[in-house]
A and B are shown apart, each in its own frame.
Chain A
């Protein structure tokens, strides 16, 4: 089932992170399953514990099932100066979840992250591959509504 992904990469260890990204992005719940770890281990001929070590090291990887849309709100100093904590409060209220939790309908997971490199438009968040900047509480509510609408 991962053959499609493996085909794109040579079976060398330096492709491990690339492959893990690809697997995670292609899972509807955006995480890496134990079964996937086994397949990758076989394909790259790399021990399982090495792969677990890598997954736990990097903030973008998860071994827990997550939502369809992963919200990553930046909490670094420039965004903090511009009030990202208000946005965070609003998001928690709106989605009724806490950090690293997923909404019951499986639509959203809320995470905090470090600087996304769009600080000129602070506060900033990323939902899956899209960046949203100059956030206000009203704007966040609208973004969430729009995503819910398109399902």
Chain B
């Protein structure tokens, strides 16, 4: 066996190969042979070296020195200084070899404070971190009206997309005298780019259940349903398990904690239809029908599931409730800005270095989210735009990087927060392609109940295909806007109204991309 006095590990990853790692390897080997060091120093390829080191990285053993951003031009100096003279090259040393750096932001988290910390399949771990304290308080120490007043005061707004004030929604249903009322949790999460509800359900299912209990108590429901999309197998499994645990611990059932209040939950699954996220379509689906939306009014709050008063809320909305009851409306209001209270979960994907999810107080800017939680742009690309709010969202340009992300500030730019999905696009992304992909989605997901949407989504898709194939005309851009605007006015449900936003914003902000295909 050969004995080497030193080993150089060369970090190979998609990023470093792009930055020229292979060329550097060749340069390094030839430089070493030039100086007759090839038998003393071994060069090995390895996986990525440290997550935060940049460009091409070299690690030298036994000294355990990490170099970053190495280029072919640096090689002669490096070999001369380090391997002949034994002096590490300071200017190339990695700034941070050990990074305490990634900030999961648990300190500011609220709905996701336990996800990634506790065992989601063990109710006692949830109880141990203060779980079901809020339920106890709401059930035994507060009147239903007081719960609603607290939630109203907190300023909590729906996180399912529309942003309707939650306390207000409950207060419509609470006074209705009915032998049966229902709470339905919308866990259909179909908006492309959104996976926040999945994390809550997988990571902390009891948080959702506790919020549901408090909501049921507040407006007087004795039965709650969670409607989960069929693709979320792990959520279904974990929630079933969590509900069973609650039953056996007496947290759900008859006469809970001797209060005289009865409550039970059940899970229903979907089967792959985006429109079922619309609340009335969801109710149809829950009843075992095709998921076609219903006419409103009557609103579900008055006549919903099996014609009973029904509150439909999003998973993230309800997961906020235990904290509001525990810490109070005042505390909750202190987070956030501009009438947008509390925290918001954002999912971050596309051309960022580290896609994922983060929960931060309302009102943070897009730039901060990308840099602080997404690790900046992928491979140092230049930011071109971002699709915010899923397929039904808006495509923002770099002008909006510093706008605060809350309902009111975004409204000024006719943008929406929507589901909190942020898809970041680098410089080379072609907006024609993106809009094509979005319109393909809507064409596929239109439920076909009303003709403006059924025909409109098909027609919009045809136009964008024409443009994509280089056969479009400039008038086509205007006609897409007009057509989608007409759909806003005439469609039966919000799905048919959705294509307008991405169409309008992409044409407005990135007209040149479209013109390039037309010319």
Contact = CB atoms under 8 A, between A and B. Distances in A.
Interface of A: 12-18, 20-21, 44, 46, 50, 53-54, 57-61, 75-78, 80-82, 113-122, 126, 129
A80 B290 CA distance: 29
A76 B271 contact: no
A115 B273 contact: no
Nearest to A74: B192
B290 A57 contact: yes
B270 interface: yes
Given A57-B273, A78-B423, 14 more contacts: A13-B287, A14-B286, A44-B288, A50-B289, A59-B271, A77-B192, A77-B387, A77-B441, A80-B437, A81-B350, A81-B351, A114-B190, A117-B195, A117-B232
Contacts of B357: 120
B434 A15 contact: no
Top 4 A-B pairs ranked by shortest CB distance? A59-B272, A58-B271, A76-B192, A16-B288
A114 B288 contact: no
B21 to A, nearest CB: 17
Nearest to B197: A117
Interface string B26-47: 0000000000000000000000
A115 B288 contact: no
A120 B347 contact: yes
Interface in B180-230: 189-195, 198, 229-230
Given A53-B290, A77-B437, A115-B190, A61 B271 contact: yes
Contacts of A15: 288
A120 B355 contact: yes
11 contacts: A14-B288, A18-B269, A77-B192, A78-B421, A80-B437, A81-B423, A81-B429, A81-B437, A117-B198, A119-B347, A120-B355
A15 B268 CA distance: 8
B192 A78 contact: yes
A81 B231 contact: no
B203 to A, nearest CB: 13
B476 to A, nearest CB: 21
A120 B192 CA distance: 11
A59 B429 CA distance: 30
A118 B195 contact: yes
Contacts of B434: 77, 80-81
Contact of B350 (A17, A44, A59, A82): A82
Report the contact-size class of chain B (Cβ under 8 Å from the partner). 35 or more
A20 to B, nearest CB: 7
A78 B190 contact: no
B349 to A, nearest CB: 5
Contacts of A44: 288
A54 B193 contact: no
B509 to A, nearest CB: 16
B438 interface: yes
B50 interface: no
B233 interface: yes
Contact of B271 (A46, A60, A78, A126): A60
A16 B287 CA distance: 8
Interface in B268-287: 268-274, 285-287
Most B-side CB within 10 Å, residue of A58, A78, A122: A78
Contacts of A113: 231, 272
Given A13-B288, A119-B195, A114 B274 contact: yes
A122 B230 CA distance: 20
A77 B288 contact: no
Contact of B192 (A60, A82, A114, A129): A114
Given A17-B288, A81-B429, A129-B233, A117 B268 contact: no
